[in-house]
Structure 1
Amino acid sequence: MRTSYLGSALLAIAEVVLAYSSPILRDNDVFRRDVLTKLPRNADENSLRFQPALDFDKDSCYNTAAVDVQGNLNPGLPNKGSPSAGCRDISRLDNANVYSRSRCNNGWCAYITGRGTGGHVHDWENVVVFVQNNKRIARVAPSAHGEYKGATNNPVLDGDHPLIVYHKNGLSTHAFRIAKEEERYDVENDFGWWQIADLVAWDGYPSGFVQEQLTHHDFGKATIKLVDSRFGDNLKKAAGDSIPGFDPYQG
C-alpha cells in the first residue's frame, strides 16, 4: 500500500530540473559510473515549499545527480534495452538532485521541474508551478516532450507539494504527468513514499564553474530549460492563458 509520507518538508522554485539517464541493456546491470555524489541542498524557503513530490512508475527510470561538486557530469546510460532496464537502483534516488530557477512578478511566482525526452542518453523534463501571492498554487504544468498539454489548475497536492508521476507515455518514451487522487497511496518507487530530492537553486551551486558545467553542456535533443535562452519561453508556454498579469520574461 502506498504511503503519503513526504520525506522532508521542501519547497519548489520556478524551474526544477531533473537529470535522468536512459535505460541500459539488462535489468540486472547497474552502471555505477552514472551515479555521482549529489550536490548539497541549497535553495530558498519558498522554492522548497512548493517543490513537486515525485513518484516513478515501474516502467520508468529514477533520476540521479547530473553534476557533482567537482563539476563532473553524469555520462548517462546506453540507449538500449527496455524502458526501465537497470536504471531503478536505489542508489540513484539516494543521490538525486533537482535543479531550479524562479521568476516572480505582479503577484505571481513560477516554479518548474524538468526532464527532456525519452530515448536519449540524458532526459530532461520539467514541471512548472505557478503560485499567487506566495500562498495559492494556481496552476501546475508538467512537460511531455516540450509541451504542457497535461497542465491543470486543480492539481493533486500533499500540503504545498504537487504530486507528479514520471511514467511511460509511448512505446519507448517517458514524461511527467499530474498524479491521480487514487495514486496518493499507491507509490511505486522502492522507498515507498513520494520523493523530494535535494534542491539546488539557480544561485545555489557550490561554484560558478559547477553551474556552467551543467548549464552549458550539450545534452543533444534533451535541453535544460533553466538557461536564459529557453527559460522565459517555457514559462510562457506553461502559463497559457491561466496566469493573468504574469510576465514570463520579467524579473
Structure 2
Amino acid sequence: MNLRFFFVTLVAVFTAVADAGSINHDQVRPFAQPKPATVSEKAAVKFNPQIHITNGCHPYPAVNAAGETSGGLQTNGAPSAGCKGSGWGSQVYGRSTWYKGRWAIMYSWYFPKDSPSTTLGHRHDWEHVVVWIDNPAVANPKILAVTPSAHSGYSKYAPPKAGTVTGNTAKVNYESHWPVNHALDSTDVGGDAQDLIMWEQQHGKLRRRQCTHERWKLHDESRKGFPVVDEGRTRN
C-alpha cells in the first residue's frame, strides 16, 4: 500500500454530496466531536494535534450534516481577509490505519483559500499531518514520528524535533513564505485544537451519498483534494 494514495482525496467522506450545494464558508457548521468508542477513535482523540496560524486563513469546517460544502473564498484582499476564524467553530478530519508496522493517524484541516498575497494562490486548501504511534491498543502509546504535508509531499520528523510535541500533542504551523503557497511544518509554538470527526463516525447514508459525488479535487482549485480516501488503499 502506498500511504500517499491512502491519504489522497477524501471527497468520498467529508465533501460534497450529489444533491447538496455549497454555501458561504462562514455558514458551515462543524460536527460536534463524538464520544470515542473504539480503540482507534480513542487514540485519535488522545493525539489530536494543535495548529498554529502564522499567516493566512484559519481552518474552517468543510461540510455540514446536510452535506452542504464550503464555497471557499477568492484570493482577493489580505491572506487572512474573510477567514480569520468561524463563529461556529472549526473542525479537524481524521482517519487511521496500520502502515508498515506503525499506526498512522491522519488529521486534515480545510482552509477557504490559500493566498500568500492578494490575487496569488487559489480557492480552497487542504493540509494535513500524519502522527505515527507504536500501537493504539497499548496502555501508553507513544509518538514515533510526525509528518506534516509540504509542497512536494511531506516533511518527516522521526523522532519529532525537541519542543514540537508536548505530552500527546504534536504542534504544527500553517505558514506561507511569499510567494509560495501555504503548507504545514512542525513547530514549538502552541496553537489550537479543533473538534475531531473520524471517517467511521460519519453515518453510512451520508458516506454513501458522498462517495457518489464528483471528486472534491475537481471542486478544489488547488487540486490537492481531501487527503483520505478508500480508493488506492491497496496500491503498492
Give yes or no for TM over 0.5.
yes
What is the match of residue 107 of structure 2? 113
Is 70-79 or 110-119 further displaced after alignment?
Answer: 110-119
Q: Distance in 2 between matches of 1:33 and 1:106?
A: 41
Q: Which residue of 2 aligns with 1:41?
A: 33
Within 5 Å, give how 1:1-251 maps onto structure 2.
Answer: 33-35=24-26, 36-42=28-34, 43=36, 44-57=41-54, 59-91=55-87, 94-104=88-98, 107-114=101-108, 118=114, 119-134=121-136, 135-149=141-155, 151-155=157-161, 156-180=164-188, 183-184=189-190, 194-209=191-206, 212-213=209-210, 216-217=215-216, 218=218, 219-220=220-221, 221-229=223-231
User: Does the CA contact (< 8 Å) of 1:55 and 1:164 recur in 2?
Assistant: yes
Alpha-carbon spacing, 1:79–1:198, altered in 2? closer, same or farther (3 Å):
same
- Structure 1's unaligned 5+ residue stretches are 1-13, 20-31, 185-193, 234-248
Q: Which TM-score applies when normalising by structure 1?
A: 0.66
Q: How has the CA–CA distance of structure 1 residues 231 and 60 changed in structure 2, closer, same or farther, with 3 Å as cutoff?
A: farther
Which consecutive residues of structure 2, in runs of 5 or more, have no partner in the other structure? 1-5, 12-22, 115-120
How far apart are residue 197 of structure 1 and its match? 0.8
Instruction: Give the structure-2-normalised TM-score.
Output: 0.70
Cα distance, 1:45 vs. partner? 0.7
Distance in 2 separating the partners of 1:170 and 1:232 = 37
Contact 1:18 1:63 in 2 (8 A): no
CA RMSD of aligned residues (A): 3.1
Instruction: Give the 3 Å change call, closer, same or farther, for CA 41–145 of structure 1 in structure 2.
Output: same
Identity of aligned residues (%): 25
SS in 1 for 2:94: strand
CA distance in 1, matches of 2:185, 2:65: 31
CA distance in 1, matches of 2:59, 2:93: 12
Tell me by how many angstroms 1:34 deviates: 1.1
2:118 is aligned to none
The 3-state SS of whatever aligns with 1:127 is strand
